[in-house]
Amino acid sequence: MLLVSLRFLEDLKMKVDRDKCISCGACSSVCPSDAIEVPSRGVRVLGVCTNCRLCIKACPMGAMEIE
């Protein structure tokens, strides 16, 4: 049962709602795996994301989601 649950977590991906994102960098500053880049406009989530969800809590605009 636990193995199945862990595999499900591996399939989850962070998603950025670009309409809500203001490129403030709050998500990037709390990311323990440095998986978030903030270019001049928007946010990019890299493949090293561990799905810790700290960025979701840090985003003042609610632009980070997990799918």
Backbone φ and ψ of 29, nearest 5°: -70, -25
Is the pLDDT at 54 greater than 80? The verdict is yes
Mean pLDDT within 11-19: 86
CATH 3.20.20.70 fits 2-66, yes or no: no
Mean pLDDT within 3-21: 74
Q: What is the pLDDT of residue 42?
A: 75
Backbone φ and ψ of 26, nearest 5°: -60, -40
Q: What is the pLDDT of residue 44?
A: 86
Least confident of 4-8, 32-36, 40-44: 4-8
Is the pLDDT at 62 greater than 90? The verdict is yes
- CA 43-52-49 angle, 5° bins: 50
Contacts of 36 by beta carbon, 8 Å cutoff, 6+ apart? 27, 28, 43, 44, 45, 46, 49, 55
